[in-house]
Amino acid sequence: MTTKSSVLGYPRIGANREWKKALEEFWSGKLEEGTFESRLRELRLQHLRKQQAKGIDIIPVNDFSYYDQVLDTATMFGLVPKRFAYDGGPVSLPLYYGIARGTKEATASEMTKWFNTNYHYIVPELDGGEPALTENKPLQAYREAKEALGIEGRPVLIGPLTFVKLSKGYKADEAGAWLDRLLPLYVQILVELEAEGVKWVQIDEPILVNGLSADELGRLHAVYEKLVAAAPSLNILLQTYFESAEHYGELVKLPVQGIGLDFVHGLEGSMKALREHGFPQDKVLGAGVIDGRGIWKASLRERLTLLNELQTYVSADRLIIQSSCSLLHVPVTASVEDRLLPELRDALAFADEKLDELVLLAKAVNEGEAAVKEQLDQAEQALQALGQSRDRNRGDVQKAVAAILAQEPARQQPFAKRYEAQQEKWRLPLLPTTTIGSFPQSAEVRKARQLWRKGEWSEEQYASFIREQIDTWVGLQEDIGIDVLVHGEFERTDMVEFFGEKLEGFAFTSFGWVQSYGSRCVKPPIIYGDVAFDQPMTTVETAYAQSKTNRPVKGMLTGPVTIMNWSFVRDDIPREQIAYQLAYALRQEVEALEKAGIGLIQVDEPAVREGLPLKKEDQAAYLDWAVKAFRLTTCTVQDTTQIHTHMCYCEFHDMIDSIEAMDADVISIETSRSHGELIHSFEENTYRLGIGLGVYDIHSPRVPQVEEMTAMIDRALRVLDPKLFWINPDCGLKTRGTEETVAALRNMVEATKLARSKHAVYV
Query: What is the secondary structure of 129-173 as a DSSP string?
Result: PPP-----HHHHHHHHHHHHH----EEEEE-HHHHHHT-BSS-GG
699 classed as catalytic: yes
Given a cut of 50, the residues of the chain with pLDDT beneath it are 649, 762-763
Q: Residue 603's beta-bridge partner residues?
A: 557
Q: What percentage of the chain's residues is helix, strand, coil (to nearest 5)? A: 45, 15, 40
Instruction: Tell whether 677 is in a known binding site.
Output: no
Domain spanning 403-762 has what CATH number?
3.20.20.210
CA distance 49 to 14: 13
pLDDT of residue 333: 98
Domain positions in the chain are 4-387, 403-762
Phi and psi of 30, rounded to 5°? -85, -10
Note the pLDDT of residue 763: 46
List 156's β-bridge partners, or say none.
Answer: 202
Q: Is 27 annotated as a binding residue?
A: no
Longest CA pairwise span in the chain (Å): 81
Enter the CATH code of domain 4-387.
3.20.20.210
Cβ neighbours, 10 Å, residue 338: 8
- Amino acid identity for residue 52 in this structure: Q
In angstroms, the CA 718 to CA 729 distance is 19
> Per the annotation, does 309 bind a ligand?
no
Closest Cα to residue 132, out of 76, 82, 85, 91? 76
Q: Phi, psi at residue 578, to the nearest 5°?
A: -65, -45
Amino acid at position 18, single letter: E
On whether 646 is known to bind a ligand per the annotation, the reply is yes
Please name which of 104, 99, 293, 282 lies closest in space to residue 206, comparing C-alpha atoms. Answer: 293
Confidence (pLDDT) at 672: 64
403-762 has the same fold as 4-387: yes
- Tell whether residue 426 is among the known ligand binding residues: no
DSSP E strand stretches across 491-567: 504-507, 514-517, 520-522, 526-532, 554-558
Instruction: Please count the other Cβ atoms lying within 10 Å of the Cβ belonging to residue 346.
Output: 17
For residue 363, give the H/E element and its range. Answer: helix 351-367
d(CA 401, CA 409): 12
> Would you say 593 and 552 are in contact if contact means Cβ atoms under 8 Å apart?
no
pLDDT digits (tens, 9 = 90+) for 507-562: 999 999 999 999 999 999 999 999 999 999 999 999 999 999 999 999 999 999 99
- 296 a known binding residue? no
- DSSP 3-state assignment of 65? coil
Q: Which of 277, 644, 699, 759 is catalytic?
A: 699
Cα 738 to chain centroid distance, Å, stands at 26
Q: What is the CA radius of gyration of the chain?
A: 26
Is 565 in contact with 511 (CB distance < 8 Å)?
no
Compute the distance between CA of residue 306 and CA of residue 234 in angstroms, rounded to an integer: 30
Instruction: Please report the pLDDT score of residue 336 as a whole number.
Output: 95
pTM: 0.91
436 annotated ligand binder: yes
Is residue 113 part of an annotated ligand binding site? Answer: yes
- Euclidean distance between CA atoms 409 and 628, whole angstroms: 7
* Residue 670 marked as a ligand binder: yes
In this structure, are residues 145 and 151 in contact, taking their beta carbons and an 8 Å threshold? Answer: yes
What local confidence, expressed as pLDDT, does residue 684 receive? 66
| Euclidean distance between CA atoms 194 and 188, whole angstroms | 10
Give bridge partners of residue 158 from the DSSP assignment: 204
Residue 534 dihedral angles phi and psi, to the nearest 5°:
-110, -60
Q: Which helix (H) or strand (E) holds 235?
A: strand 235-239
Q: Around Cβ 392, how many Cβ atoms within 10 Å?
A: 16
Q: Are 290 and 56 in contact (CB under 8 A)?
A: no
What's phi and psi for 107, nearest 5 deg?
-75, 150
Q: Where are the beta strands (DSSP E) in 392-491?
A: none
Q: How far apart are the C-alpha atoms of 295 and 512, rounded to whole Å?
A: 10
- Between 33-54 and 18-27, two packed helices, what is the crossing angle to 10 degrees? 170
Question: What is the C-alpha separation between 701 and 442, in angstroms, rounded?
Answer: 14
Yes or no: say if 699 and 741 are a contact pair by the CB < 8 Å rule: no
